[in-house]
Amino acid sequence: MTTRPVKLAFIGTGSWARSKHFPALTYLLEHPDKLPGIQLSLQGIYSLEPEMARAVAVRVGFTRVYDSLDDLLADGSVNAIAVAVVPEATGAVVRRAAANRVPIFSEKPPGVSAAEAQELAELITVPNLVAFNRRFAPLNNRFRTLVNGMEGAYYVEGHFLRHERHDPAFITQTAVHWINYMEYVCGRIQDVTVERFASPENETLNTVAHLTFAGGLRGLLKVFPCAGSQVERLEVHSASQSIYFTGPYEAEAGQIIIDRGRIRELIESDTEPVAPEIVRIGIVEEYIEFLTKTCAGKVARSTFQNAVNSMRIAEAMEE
């Protein structure tokens, strides 16, 4: 088999990159069978924290540490770029990386606002993947397949709950994950009406959004940053069956329950307990798709272009 070399440069060394991205790349280097026809090499890394970048390079196996973003972009051997920086810097970094005309992998959100997301979607014409990892998790995709096989689905309800989160941009930077996943499962959200109310103990706002999807499906999404639970749930109802999904999150493996009248079927994650979290929650699969498809010029299931509407809905819910 002819192998295609992918020489990846990485931008960022933050906590999410260290806990998820670098372990995923290490996993793939240790499991080359997951990347058939691909010869992956970690060409180099750049960070505003050079000491951290050097430590990561030694631990993960990046060939070099760039002194500046200019140095990285001037490296003609690089044919793929991954970006995992703070949301406020993502747009500026991706704009510069896009000028190199190589495939781009970018952590979400795809901009700090719907306007920036739209701008980047229009600007970035190279193959790209935005890391909405819920679209890539194995159990999440099994749930999507089950929903797509339902006849006459008429209502969907989502819950995105966290404990003691007071981030002012919680919806556009975090809960947008579940908005994006609901669109992946049910189609484009067309209209949204929003109710917001403060938690009794503090001023953090909880949100209830009534949704209408392009196909006419009605729905609801509850985003509570200060709840007793930390969980991601989705349920879809038709006259003949109801499907309930609890997504994998941290140590939670996730499960699917299908009710057909008095008959109940339980589907548990088939990746547990063997697979590490980075496999269960879709981080590894993001990179597999990027390296095997996006870098070959094919359209990924999550891009700057199809993320714009999720940001529009998130912004409407946050404002």
Chain segment 136-184, per-residue pLDDT in tens: 999 999 999 999 999 999 999 999 999 999 999 999 999 999 999 999 9
Residue with tokens 């972009």: 73
Tell me the fold of 135-275+309-318: Dihydrodipicolinate Reductase; domain 2 (3.30.360)
pLDDT at 1 over 80: no
Is the four-CA dihedral 92, 96, 99, 102 of positive or negative sign? negative
Q: Name the pairing type of β-strands 189-198 and 4-11.
A: unpaired
Residues linked to residue 155 through DSSP beta bridges, in sequence order:
218, 237
What's the chain's average pLDDT? Answer: 95
Chain segment 236-260, per-residue pLDDT in tens: 999 999 999 999 998 889 999 999 9
CA angle 184, 188, 194 (to 5 degrees): 105
Distance CA 51, CA 57 (A): 10
Q: Quick one: pLDDT band at residue 112, thresholds 50, 70, 90?
A: very high
Higher pLDDT, 200 or 21: 21
Distance CA 204, CA 196 (A): 10
Tokens of 280: 């269960």
Q: Quick one: pLDDT band at residue 2, thresholds 50, 70, 90?
A: confident
pLDDT at 315 over 60: yes
- Res 274: pLDDT: 54
- Res 128: pLDDT: 98
- What are the sequence ranges of the domains in the chain? 4-133+283-307, 135-275+309-318
Residue 24 contacts residue 288 (beta carbons within 8 Å): no
Tell me the fold of 4-133+283-307: Rossmann fold (3.40.50)
- Burial-class residue 251 by CB neighbours within 10 Å (0-12, 13-18, 19+): exposed
pLDDT at 269 over 80: no
Identical fold for domains 4-133+283-307 and 135-275+309-318, yes or no, is no
Q: What is the mean pLDDT of residues 289-293?
A: 98
- Burial-class residue 6 by CB neighbours within 10 Å (0-12, 13-18, 19+): buried
